[in-house]
Every structure is written in C-alpha cells, then in structure tokens.
Structure 1
Amino acid sequence: MEYENNLILKRLFTKNTINDLVKNRKNDTFTYAINRYLNETKAQKYNDLISKIYKLSGKQYRMEYFYKNTLLNKLLLGKHSLKTTTALTELAIGKSKADFVMINGKGIVYEIKTELDTLERLENQIQDYYKVFKYVCVVTCEEHYEKLRKKLLNTKVGIYVLTKRNTISVKKEPEEEESFLDKKVIFKVLRKKEYEKIIFNNIGYLPKTSQFKYYSECYKLFDEISIEVIHKSMLNELKKRINIDIQDYKNYVPYELKFLIYFSQYKKKDYENLKIFLQSEFGG
C-alpha cells in the first residue's frame, strides 16, 4: 500500500502531469489521486487541490519529489538567491545521478535517501560525486539518521535530516574534499560547448582534426589544464545551464511546484498559462 501511494504521488508531481493539466485541464493520474485522497473536490481551484495533496504527501508519503522541493525552497530560495545560485537535478556523474546540486561560489551535491530508500549504493554514489564536486551531503529522514551517522563518521560528507515537521535539520555540514577530483569524469559531465569554452579560454585554440578524433583530441588539451582551473571553470559553465525569469517565477509559481517549474524552462506565456490554470476549477 505504501509503495502504491508513493508511486501515485511520484507520477503526479512530474513535468508531464503538470503540463498536461495546464494544457488540457485534465489528467488521469491527477484525477485518480484527488479522488483517492481528498473529499469534496468539486468546485475547488487546482491551486488548492495541489496544495492539499502536497500537504498530505508531507504527512504520510514523503517521496523523492517532496525532498527535492523542500531543498529548493529552504536552501536555494530561503538561504541563497536565484541571481547568484543555480540548482541542477539528475546530473549524471560516473555511474550515479546526483539528485540535487547547488552551485554558487562552490558546488554541493545533495544525495537524497527517503524513508523508502536503502543505503546500499550510497558509498559508490559518494565516490562518484567526489570526482566532480568538493562537497557532498546526504539528506535523509530521522529513521535513517543514526545508521548514516555511523556510516559517515570519519568522512567529510554532510548529513541533513528532513524532520517530521518538514524542516531541514543540519546534523553535520559537508567539508571540502578535493583529493578525488577527476578530470576525465568532469569532462564527461560537461556538454560540448562547455568543454570547448574551457579549452579555448585556457589553451587558446581547439583541435583541428577529424570529427571521429575530435572528442579525444579535446580531452588531450583539457587534460593539460590544472584541476583547480578545470573545477572552477566547470562550476561557471554549469551555473549557466538554468536561466529563468526570476520575477515571473516568484510571482506565479506556488511553493508546491517550485522544483518542477524551476527545471521546466518556462517562458512568459507559460507562466501566464500556469496562473490561469491554478485559478481555474477542477471538474471532479
């Protein structure tokens, strides 16, 4: 039952579901979730229903989206600034995918372990993250905390706990660890235009070779740059990946959808459509 509830809510808080709702005012997953978990749904605004189902999730079924959205609201929007800080999600690093990355003066990976997650892959994930970033933090529930505390006791990995009251409790701040940075792994994280810019800015030219050899020749030049310069340049390039209209984002996006919309590349018209949708009534 718990797995089923988590799956339904996981499907609800996705770009596809929200985009479908904004465009068509209907979505099977949303209708099923509303009818299953809430009463007296007719003639209620979508904004209110989304808020209610999100609060229910926070009390009973804290899936990964709830953790991610809390991190974005509490850390990026609460402590930092959209002008100076960029967040990334599902960033492929080695054999792992970073749940949430925040970049300002430094880059921090936040690996999420919810109540439904095991800690089996955590060690390998942390090893992957340290090849690209200097700071790693695990965000988890109160049930996992003691086990994690012992597991990470002699490491520089931070530990944050999402409490029962849905606040973030800092148990251990992440410390800098730069000894595992790996040029090859960083190179694979970067997009073509990003590593080309880093090479050109530091070497002064790009390789003139066949398309077949271009990637490997680029890496040879990339490898000549110091790891310190590469890491700093990488952070600068990753920061540029997200570009949002800060004012529209703040004005039109409710707390519950901040994470989803942040990564949806909305234009002004999209924000206006979202506002109209949220104020319209659910038909039941």
Structure 2
Amino acid sequence: MNNNFILNRFFSQATFDNALNIGTNSIYDECVKQYVDKANVETNIEIIEELYHYLQKNYRNEYFYKNTLFNKNIIGKHSLHTTTALTEVPIHKSKADFIKINGKAIVYEIKTELDSLERLEQQLADYYKAFTNIYVITSESNEEKVGKMLTGTNVGLMVLTKRNQFSERKKAMEDYSLLDKEVMFKVLRKDEFEAIIEGYYGFLPETKPVFYYSECFLLFNKIPLLKAHELFVKELKKRNKLNVQNYLEHVPYELRFLAYFSQSIQKNYQELSRFLKNDWRY
C-alpha cells in the first residue's frame, strides 16, 4: 500500500482547516505529489475528486466508509432537517464510529478491509451500554469472519460491496438488556443532562459545585431506564444542527462527512467554495 496511510490524514479536519486558512498544507501538498496527475487537474476540487476516486478504487479507508454511509444512508434516505449524525462518540472504553439518530438511534461500527477485528467484541459490548441498535459494517472480504463473530447476537451486519453499495446481510434486533445509566450519563454534555433533569423533574439540584455532577447523576439514575434512554436519545439528536441549504449547495460529495462536523467550514461556506474553485497553490 506504499504510503497510502497519508490519505487518512488528507480527509481530516486539521488538513482542511489549515488549507482553507492559508490555501494548502504539507499533508495536502504531499498527497498531490504522490497521487495526482497534475497534467490533468488544476483546481482543488479536481484534486479532491481524484484523491477520493483513488480511495474508492484502491484504499477504502475509514473516511471512505463514513462518507459513503453519510451520503447514502443519511442524505440519500433521510432529511438532514430530521436526522442527526454523530461520530467518534466516547462510550465506556470505546468510541462509536458513526451514530444515526432519526426515529431511533443506530450505532454503526466500521471495520474496513484495512482494519483489525481484535477489539470488535469489546466495542459492541460497550455500545450496548448506551444504545439498543447496533450494526457492524465491513467489506466483502471480511464478511464471513465478521458474520461468524455476530452469530447468536442481536448485532446487525452490513457490507460495503465492491460496487460501493451497502447490503444488509443480518438485521439488527433491539436489545435493552445491557443499558447502563451511568455510561449513558457520561456520554451527555453538561447542558444535555441538565435539560433532561430539568425537563423531567422541573428543577436542577442546588448544591456546592464540587457535588453538582454527582447530584445530577443521582437524579438521572432515578428515572426509569426506558424513559431515561428515550430522553438520552432525544438530547443527542439535538447535536450538529446546520444550515442545510448552504451545506448542500456548497459542499461536494467527497467532503460531506467532513464538513458536517466542521464548524470552521460551516461558518464560511463561501470560503470553501473559493478554495475548491482555486488552482492548487494559487
């Protein structure tokens, strides 16, 4: 795979924040040198399209899976007005790759053809502490091995085919049996657990600052489990709201996942458009 790992850093917040501010950066430049036929491209959008095409054909990394899932499963099937996507959410000792929240919350753990399956069982166990619907997404080459690991479980299985289409091989079944209110509470931000507590009880605890977090958890912990989980999901769904019209107008397919989580891009879509239209190293 030569130095393909550098492509993992190309499609990243850091690279594009830097590129938008000063026009380019070292990772961007190095990827252009290694992978782009500069005789055939001039603008930054052409560079990005060519590099993304390289991922599709030769190096389907985690970003490619996430961006494909976001485009096909969020934008393609739902509305950004009513559906929320989350990524890299810490849950117990793991981080969820991708969470979709619409009518319900679904966790997608991505295992590309480049990934190890070593931690998969632990990751799934952690996710069930906070969520009830879980899928593993993997490649056709890993399908048999992952399928065996999921036999007898409630975890669903999806495959990203060689034609870059998602195919559901095993449907996920809801499982509430492992939910853990302490783990759920730790996923929430301060304003989120305060909204749950105040909405449910009509007040927030009055106590010394050093005891405030623990007092809030005690109140959250008294909420019946299914109700607590319902309120937990509703709060998470409020994250990542954006101006959908500007987003869809200015963000190309290849950068949709990245831009959805980038506050710097969302603050200035016009700057992104200028960057994309400019020649490399303008």
Equivalenced residues, count:
282
Gaps of 5+ in 1: none
Percent of pairs with identical residues: 49
Give the residue type in structure 2 aligned to 1:33: C
Match of 1:45 among 38, 43, 46: 43
2:205 matched residue in structure 1: 207
| Moved >2 Å (runs of 4+) | 40-43, 265-269
Give the residue type in structure 2 aligned to 1:198: I
1: CA distance between counterparts of 2:188 and 2:120? 23
Give the residue type in structure 1 aligned to 2:84: T
1:97 matched residue in structure 2: 95
Q: 1:267 to 1:280 in 2, by over 3 A?
A: closer
* 1:171-197 C-alpha deviation (Å, 9 max, x unpaired): 112111111111111011011111111
Match of 2:107 among 109, 113, 126: 109
Residues 34 and 41 in structure 1, CA contact (< 8 A), matched pair in contact too: no
* 1:238-272 C-alpha deviation (Å, 9 max, x unpaired): 11111111001110100000000000125765100
Give the residue type in structure 1 aligned to 2:85: A
Give the residue type in structure 1 aligned to 2:173: E
Q: 1:93 to 1:167 in 2, by over 3 A?
A: same
Q: SS where residue 134 of structure 1 aligns?
A: coil
Residues 17 and 264 in structure 2, CA contact (< 8 A), matched pair in contact too: no
* 1:97-119 C-alpha deviation (Å, 9 max, x unpaired): 00000001100000010112111
1:26 matched residue in structure 2: 24
* 1:48-92 C-alpha deviation (Å, 9 max, x unpaired): 110011011111111111111011001000111101100000000
1:15, CA displacement in angstroms? 1.0
1: CA distance between counterparts of 2:222 and 2:54? 53
1: CA distance between counterparts of 2:152 and 2:129? 19
Q: SS where residue 196 of structure 1 aligns?
A: helix
Give the residue type in structure 1 aligned to 2:231: S
2:123 matched residue in structure 1: 125
2:80 matched residue in structure 1: 82
Gaps of 5+ in 2: none
Residues 137 and 160 in structure 2, CA contact (< 8 A), matched pair in contact too: yes
2: CA distance between counterparts of 1:153 and 1:242? 34
2: CA distance between counterparts of 1:165 and 1:200? 49
1:216 matched residue in structure 2: 214
Residues 96 and 108 in structure 2, CA contact (< 8 A), matched pair in contact too: yes
Residues 41 and 47 in structure 2, CA contact (< 8 A), matched pair in contact too: no
2: CA distance between counterparts of 1:283 and 1:215? 50
